Structure 1
């Protein structure tokens, strides 16, 4: 393993009306600025076409994000850092993201997800709509993987404005309000922190291997 290889970051998300997509794009941009190789990936939509068509915001976002490559298990194996983002559904991550996670059993069984640096983010329609429980539910996956969870904590001043140490979260007012400056700065910080931790781990492993 070469310590000179950039950290690899996979930002894997599900977004119905575009709020989580906006956070995911900001995360990908922050990772690139931190010197990482980045894959921005959307998970497969499971909802029927008639349900999507019945909501203008949902339909518009589906059309606008067709260019984003669909997530695959190769993205998880490739990455040093994995960020999962999903809106909440009854205090849990949306089924679309959970379905993708459920396909990773083979990688898990072969130990391919151990020591990945991981973090998560979310959006809710209303305040107190399950932001923390959604992030904690996503993180339950990481415990089983043996991954290394890197939360934003209150490790940057923006976190005292954003207010969620578990991961970046946003109140979308039923999809009508996109992330503001505070949320975008917060997801940038969260991502950069994860990249920095992964780089330090990689450098440490390289030092051990070459000592």
Structure 2
């Protein structure tokens, strides 16, 4: 199998998306990829973070996770984005990172890569699908190849989201299913990127 570089770039406020990102990294590594797990910069003021105990605790607990740079996008053959939903959209912290990619986009350096995404919300109908579809709009503009999990593994019939792994925060029963789904999504991403890379090399 062709060697594949995978960037898992995410934002997490209280840890739910972080857990999915870690599971995705495990799945990608097990599939043979070289993985960069990166969080995007926190843009909220510290006083806002400290006003919510779970938020402050997570920020401090993940202080050692490297922040995403534009180099991570350029380096990657495949990119998996993670974000909580914010009114049915990606979090502003992730959007700030994405909106800084204009230079890479203009040079064509984001085209032809494989992309996918995962999310979490506070309620069962909290905008999970619309968040993932909104991220896909960006991938279209980049000229990316979008690889959703679909129903390509039995776990998907339990997770219920063919657009990308999603979970309701604080849903203990759904959390383990979501972790398994994230691993599968990452493996599928790697397998697709490897096949694409091999095909291009053969051509």
State the Cα deviation string for residues 159-200 of structure 1 (Å, max 9, x = none): 000000000000014xx7596221011011111001000000
Report the Cα offset of residue 83 of structure 1.
0.4
Work out whether 1:20 is the aligned partner of 2:17.
yes
Q: Does 1:142 align with 2:148?
A: no
Contact kept, 8 Å, 1:124 with 1:130, in 2: the verdict is yes
Tell me if structure 2 keeps the 8 A contact 1:17–1:57.
yes
Aligned residue-pair number: 203
Of 177, 182, 192, the match for 1:197: 192
1:182 counterpart = 2:177: yes
The runs of 4+ residues in structure 1 deviating greater than 4 Å are: 176-179
Query: 8 Å contact 1:30–1:188 — kept in the other structure?
Result: yes
Let me know the Cα RMSD of the aligned residues: 1.3
- Name structure 1 gaps, 5 residues minimum: none
* Counterpart Cα distance in 2 of 1:157 and 1:182: 11
Q: How do 1:95-110 and structure 2 match up within 5 A?
A: 95-110=92-107
Q: Partner of 2:155: helix, strand, or coil?
A: helix
Counterparts of 1:11 and 1:26 in 2: how far apart (Å)? 10
| Consecutive unaligned residues in structure 2, runs of 5 or more | none
Of the three residues 104, 109, 113, the one matched with 2:110 is: 113
SS of 2:115's equivalent in the other structure is strand
Tell me the TM-score normalized by structure 1. 0.94
Contact in 2 for aligned 1:172/1:178 (Cα 8 Å):
no
Map 1:79-90 → 2, pairs under 5 A: 79-90=76-87
Equivalent residue, structure 1, for 2:165: 168
